[in-house]
Amino acid sequence: MNDSEDPNDEVQYHIEVGPEDVADSVLLPGNPERVDKVTALWDDAEEKAYHREYRTATGTYEGTSISVTSTGIGGPSAAIALEELARVGADTLVRVGSCGAIQPEMEVGDLVITSGAVRQEGTSKEYVREDYPAVADHEVVSALVAAAERLGYDYHVGLTMSADSFYTGQGRPGFEGFRAAGSDSLVEDLREANVKNIEMEAATLLTVANVYGLRAGAVCSVYANRVTGEFRTEGESRAVETASLAVHLLARMDEVKREAGVDRWHAGLSLD
C-alpha cells in the first residue's frame, strides 16, 4: 500500500472526501443516481466527490446539516463507506433504500424501518462473531418513526434480512433456474419468524456501527411483496423524505438531551 492508499489520510481513498466535506449525519442510498433524488428534497446541496460507486453531497434540510453518500450494492462496499465516513467524523448513518417485503399485509410503497437484522451476509462476520446482534440505534428508530408519522406515510417496524446475493441468496432462481440449497423455503421460513423484509446492506451497517459506537438505522421503501407477487418501483421519495426529516429530528433530540443534561433520548423528554 502506498501513501495515496492510506486509509488514515484525511481525504479517504475510496469515497474521496475529507473532514470538511461531510456532516455528522449521512444518508446511505445504494445507487449513485439516487443522490440527486435525495438532495432534491433538501434546502440546498453541493456535490463533494464521486469516485466508483461512492457519490457524496452535503447540504441542509430544514436548516440541519446533512450529507448523502451512495454505497453501491451489498455489504462489502457499504462497509467501506461506513469506515471512511467514520474516519472523517460522521457519527450517524441512515440507510435509505428499497426492499422486498415478505409479510402479506405490507403494501408496495410502504416503508420498513429496521429495528434489527438477520446477518445472512459475510461482511459483518469479518468484524465480529456470528452471534453478535445487528441492532439499529433506538434514537434513530425513534426519529424515523416520528418522521414517518409526521409525514403521514404508512410504515412497519421490525426485522430485516440482509443477503449477499440478489438472486439465490434471496430465494430466487439463478441462471437457467439454478436453486441454491434451502432457497425454496427461505422466504417462508423468514416470514414465519416475523421478518419484515429482505435487502442487502442493513445488517452490515448496523453491526459495524455498533462495533464502532456509531448511531445507525435503515428505512426502505417496499418495491415488491414476495408473498403477493406485487412489484412497482414506488415510494422511493418517501424513504428519502422520512430519513431526511429523521436527521433533523435527531439534531433536535441531541439539543434537548444537552439541555436536560442526559446522554440518551428517553420517553421523559419532549421535542415540543
Q: Which residues are catalytic?
A: 14, 84, 172, 226
What's at 77, amino acid-wise? S
Q: Give the residue among 169, 166, 184, 12 at the shortest CA–CA distance from 85.
A: 12
Q: Which residues pair with 144 in a beta bridge?
A: none
Q: What values do phi and psi take at 106, rounded to 5? A: -85, 130
Q: Give the residue among 257, 249, 43 at the shortest CA–CA distance from 141.
A: 249
- Do the beta carbons of residue 65 and residue 175 sit within 8 Å? no
3-state helix, strand, coil split of the chain in percent (to 5) is 35, 25, 40
Burial grade of 256 (CB within 10 A; 0-12, 13-18, 19 or more): middle
Q: Give the residue among 39, 24, 59, 61 at the shortest CA–CA distance from 147.
A: 61
Give SS3 for 96. strand
Q: Give the residue among 89, 61, 118 at the shortest CA–CA distance from 240.
A: 61
Interatomic CA distance for residues 126 and 124, integer angstroms: 5
- Do the beta carbons of residue 152 and residue 248 sit within 8 Å? no
74, three cell numbers: 451489498
